[in-house]
Structure 1
Amino acid sequence: MMNEEEQRAWFGFREVHETEKASLVRGVFDSVAGRYDLMNDLMSGGVHRLWKASMMDWLAPRPGLHLVDVAGGTGDIAFRVLDRIGGPDAAAASGSSITVCDMTPAMLQVGRDRAIDRGLLGHDWRIDWVAGNAEDLPLADRSCDAYTIAFGLRNVTRIDRALAEARRVLRPGGRFLCLEFSQVALPILARLYDLYSFRMLPLLGQMVAGDRESYQYLVESIRRFPPQEALAARIAAAGLSQVKFRNLTGGIAALHSAWRL
């Protein structure tokens, strides 16, 4: 048992010292990086694509945007933003910049490789791939127009510190958007979701990614994450304003929006 004065954190259902969690989470994503995007499709039946499309609709990115996407190593959100800004002609995104910040180098390498495969090099806009922690972003104060984080906040050791960092790097008028698994609102759906996630997702992780434990952690981390209203309150407590959320697929996921005013 830990002494009362020691700081605790949850790694799934396991209680650990808070100094341990980041390395444990990094180990998970080191293991699954190569199959991460494939597993997202398989686990959600492709529905995560609709959730991310909803995120893009709410963000409504425009040319000239300076965005930081946190925990976005494989580039999925960054590429969607560029598609929205430039459509089929990515050069239309001239003057825009995206910083993809992730603490796992293996995830960032997957993102860089995907960018090369898409021919996203040599344009006036840029994507910077940066290794960094959501709780201590390697960015200047008030340097970003928008901050996005998709399925990453629940992996952070100190959520409130990460939210404070989001506010710090946003310019006045800047937008905060978080897409995350959340609390299912419909009781019947919640029971089916529990059955599917606890029994099938670790098995799927074992079969496809060769890693059952990482996907067991995934399921457990979702259950430890604050429900919609509690997260909204913490976003407001971090100094962000006009906090709203939308449930997606009955609350399996939720989008939280806020502004730095």
Structure 2
Amino acid sequence: MTAVVLFGSRAGFGLEFHVEQDPSLLCVDVFVGGLQVNTWDNAFYPPLLVKKLKDELARFRTPSPRPVGPASPSEEDLARWEFLEWGECTDQVTAFASPDGDLVHLTCRIREEAEPGRGTAARSEPTEIPVGRSEPTEVSVSRTALVETLEGALALAEREWSARLAALTARAESGVTVYASGDIGERNATYEVALYAPGFLLVGDDSGGRGFLVRADDPDSAVFSSGLGDLEPADFEIVSASFAEWIASLGTAR
């Protein structure tokens, strides 16, 4: 039976974890104002989810006054307020979180099929999403409640990823190290991944000079390998079609 853990509320802002639904990914339903905004895909790549939760917490831990000026927000305001930019699981969502002292006003809309988001071109092939309401959903939540929701979700995401890594380490005989969420930032900085392979995330290595990478904002990304001394994306080799398949292959390696 899948354990379900809800942080926050569905009526306001909520993150509902289905803890045992997938052995390698984290299945999380995201709610804004009573609307689940990721019904088409709720399986997040754990280190990416951890990073996104940390990024959101860095924004909301300190109160921010609502900008004084014209009634309509500027493009700069909208760019600063963008919310739920969490990869493909929320790719069909346009959401903003505007600060107002101890309140945060959330506005969220599910885009129509093939409708581009802010700053993006239309997809060449439409993405199927459930038919449902596409008018904006608006709700105001306290900044404290929002932070508590994100902190609770972050703690569970880190714990579940650590547990998956421990199980993998106990089974694997491949010599591959899969990084814990707390180590990913340091390893990526050490190898200057953002400089040499922008858009990729280093998630492990073979203890012999080869690293394993995924596309940073794509939970369905293939897993690539490359020499850590020559991170040239054009030379990356695909070692698995998805992160989940890669994890499974490590667990059965001999």
Which TM class, normalised by the smaller chain length?
Answer: under 0.3
TM-score by length of 1: 0.23
Larger radius of gyration: 2
Judging by fraction of residues, say which structure has more helix.
1
